[in-house]
Chains A and B, each alone.
Chain A
Amino acid sequence: MLALQLLVNGIVTGSALGVVAVSFALIYATTRVFHVAHAGVYTLGGYLAWSLMRHGVPAIAALLVAMAGCVVLGSLIQILLYARLERRGAAQLVVLIASLGALAVIQNLIAAIYSPDILNFSAAWAGQVVALPGGLRLTGAQIATVVLDFAAFGATLVFAHRTLLGKRIRAVASNPFLAEITRLEPRRVHVYVMAIASALVCLPGVLGPLDYGLQPYGGVTPLLTATIAMIAGGIGSLAGAFGLAVAIVVLQNLALLVMPGEWSIGVTFAIFVVFMLFRPRGLFAGK
Chain B
Amino acid sequence: MDYLYSYLILAEIYVLLGLSTNLLVGVVGIFSVSQAAVFGVGAYIVGDCLLSGTLSFLPALALAAVACVLLNVLISLPSLRVSGDYFVVTSFGIQLLATATFTNWTWGTGGANGMPGVPPPDLFGASIESTRGILALTTMAMTLGCLAFWLILRAPFGRKLRAIREDELAVAAAGKGVLGAKVSAAAMAGAFAGVAGGLYATYLSFIDPSSFDLDASILLLTMVVVGGARTLWGSILGPFLLLALPQALTLLAIPTTYAATSRQLLYGGLLIAFALFRPQGLLGERL
Return the contact of A224 from the options B89, B103, B274 (Cβ within 8 A).
Answer: B89
Q: Does A119 touch B at the CB level, under 8 Å?
A: no
A94, B85: Cα distance in complex, Å: 12
Can you list, as one digit per residue, whether each of B249-287 has a CB less than 8 Å from chain A (1) or not (0)?
000000001101110110111111011100100000001
Shortest CB distance A122–B (Å): 24
B30 to chain A, nearest CB (A): 8
Give the segment of B76-84, B145-153, B187-195, B235-243 that binds chain A: B76-84
A154 at the interface (CB under 8 A from B): no
CB 8 Å contact bits of A1-42 with B (1 = contact, 0 = none): 000000000000000000000000000100000101000000
Are A265 and B96 closer than 8 Å at their CB atoms?
yes
Q: Are A36 and B276 in contact (CB under 8 A)?
A: no
The answer to whether B262 touches A36 (Cβ under 8 A) is no
Task: Indicate if A59 sits at the interface (CB-CB under 8 A).
Answer: no
CA–CA, A107 and B214, complex, Å: 13
Interface size on A, residues (CB 8 A): 46
Taking the complex as formed, is A84 at the interface, i.e. its CB lies under 8 A from any CB of chain B? yes
> Is the pair A102, B272 in contact by a Cβ cutoff of 8 Å?
yes
CA distance A284 to B279 in the complex (A): 37
A262:B275 contact, CB within 8 angstroms? no
Neighbouring B residues of A97 by C-beta, 8 Å = 31, 221, 225, 271, 274-275, 287
Q: Please state if A108 and B264 are interface contacts (CB–CB under 8 Å).
A: yes
B265-A109 in contact (CB<8A): yes
Determine the residue in chain B with the shortest Cβ distance to A266.
B97
Name B residues whose Cβ lies closer than 8 Å to a Cβ of A: 25, 29, 31, 33, 78, 81-82, 84-86, 88-90, 92-94, 96-97, 100, 103-104, 214, 218, 221, 225, 257-258, 260-262, 264-265, 267-272, 274-276, 279, 287
* Interface status of A228 (Cβ within 8 A of chain B): yes
Contacting pair B81 A280 (CB below 8 A): yes
Is A100 part of the binding interface, using a Cβ–Cβ cutoff of 8 Å? yes
Which residues of B have CB within 8 Å of A266? 97, 100
Q: Which residues of B contact A98 (CB under 8 A)?
A: 271-272, 275-276
Instruction: List residues 104-149 of chain A with CB under 8 A from any CB of chain B.
Output: 104-109, 111-112, 116
Distance between Cα atoms of A205 and B265 in the complex (Å): 22
If A101-B270, A276-B81 touch, does A268 touch B264 (CB 8 Å cutoff)?
A: no
What's the Cα separation between A109 and B262 when bound, in Å? 8
Q: Report chain A residues within 8 Å CB of B100.
A: 262-263, 265-266
Q: Cβ of A104 and Cβ of B265 under 8 Å apart?
A: yes
Q: State the CA gap A105–B270 with chains docked (Å).
A: 10
The distance in angstroms between the C-alpha atoms of A100 and B267, with both chains bound, is 10
**Contacts A93-B31, A116-B257, A116-B260 known; A101 to B272 CB distance under 8 Å?**
yes
Query: Which one of A85, A90, A96, A260 contacts B88 once the chains associate, using CB atoms below 8 Å?
Result: A96
**In the complex, what residues of A have CB within 8 A of residue B271's CB?**
97-98, 100-101, 104
- Residues on B with C-beta less than 8 A from A101 are 267-272, 275
- Contact partner, B29, options A93, A106, A221, A263, Cβ 8 Å: A93
Q: Contact check: which of A95, A102, A217 meets B268 at CB < 8 Å? A: A102
Which of B82, B90, B93, B269 has the most CB atoms of chain A within a 10 A radius of its CB?
A: B93
- Given that A101-B272, A101-B275, A221-B96 are known contacts, is A280 also in contact with B86, CB under 8 Å in the complex? yes
Asked if A105 and B272 sit within 8 Å, CB to CB, the answer is: yes
By a CB distance below 8 angstroms, the chain B residues around A100 are 33, 218, 221, 268, 271
Asked if A36 contacts B268 (CB within 8 A), the reply is: no
Min Cβ gap B68→A in Å is: 19
A61 at the interface (CB under 8 A from B): no
